[in-house]
Amino acid sequence: MASALHNLSDYDINSVPDATGLAVGIVVSEWNDKITGALLEGAVRTLVKHGVREEDITVKTVPGSFELIYGSARFMNSDQVDAVIAIGCVIRGDTPHFDYICQGVTQGLADLNRQGKVPVIYGLLTCNTLEQAEQRCGGMLGNKGDECAVTAIKMAKGWV
Ligand code: DLZ
């Protein structure tokens, strides 16, 4: 149970490199937009906190999480960003759709990472309930957007 209680906004500030000069592309899904909007806010706030200039953050929206793959690929191939953050939220429904979307997006983003051009950070919440999502976008379990921003900085700065 310990990992389920991990606060996504907790990190060692001294372990994060200075991110000045980093350009970051963020793709955000419109589905469950209250959740994805809060994740986006967390990601931007944390990037800026570590030195990324707001003008070096480019945000693009896509209709649903499945489109995060295409959006991330576009950023990756633009040669304009040092890292991509893909933000979405899928909530389980009555059909197997949830499983197909989650698997498809996870595989798609993994395939992009395998190309090794720029890191593509996995900001997809895959939740059984809306409450679980709310807990992870600024609620009692922190904000996955913060975690994504820290990961993007570490990955982009760690390999230059
Ligand atoms: C269709 C659909 C459903 C049912 N649920 C979600 C969801 O919970 N979260 C999400 O991000 N997107 C959902 N979508 C939309 C799909 O991701 C995708 O946009 C459509 O299937 C069109 O490709």
Domain of 132, CATH number, reads 3.40.50.960
Q: Which two tokens stand for residue 127?
A: 């939740």
Contacts of 156 (CB under 8 A, 6+ apart): 19, 22, 24, 82, 83, 118, 119
Query: Would 107 be classed as within a structural domain?
Result: yes
C-alpha span between 127 and 76 (Å, rounded): 27
Ligand 1 touching residue 91 (CB < 6 A): yes
Output the pLDDT for position 159.
63
- Residue 147 counted as domain residue: yes
Quick: pLDDT tens for 72-100: 999 999 999 999 999 999 999 999 999 99
Q: Is residue 125 part of a domain?
A: yes
Q: 78 vs 158, which has greater pLDDT?
A: 78
19 part of a folded domain: no
Nearest residue (CA) to ligand 1, atom 9: 90
User: Is residue 33 helix, strand or coil?
Assistant: helix
- Residues with a catalytic annotation lie at 97
Reading the block at residue 40, the tokens are 């986006």
Among candidates 157, 151, 138, which has minimal Cα distance to 42?
138
Query: Best substitution site from 101, 102, 106, 134 to test ligand 1's pocket, by max atoms within 8 Å of Cβ?
Result: 101
Residue 153, pLDDT > 60, answer yes
Ligand 1, closest atom to CA 97?
4
How many domains does one find in the chain?
A: 1
What local confidence, expressed as pLDDT, does residue 147 receive? 98
Confirm whether 17 is domain-assigned: no
* Residue indicated by tokens 């993007």: 152
pLDDT for residue 2: 44
**pLDDT over 80 at 1, yes or no:** no
Using the structure block, give the residue that is written with the tokens 């304009």: 80
**CA-angle at 92, arms to 86 and 95, nearest 5°:** 120
Q: Which mutation among 65, 100, 124 tests ligand 1's pocket best, with the greatest number of atoms within 8 A of CB?
A: 65
Of 2-6, 22-26, 61-65, which range is least confident? 2-6
Ligand 1 atom, smallest distance to 32 CA: 9
Structural domain range at position 133: 39-159
84 falls within a domain:
yes
- pLDDT average, residue stretch 120-143: 98
Q: Is residue 64 part of a domain?
A: yes
pTM: 0.96
Length of the chain: 160
Q: Which helix (H) or strand (E) holds 119?
A: none
Q: Considering the domain boundaries, does residue 4 fall inside one?
A: no
Residue 125 has pLDDT above 50, yes or no: yes
Ligand 1 in reach of 63 Cβ (< 6 A): yes
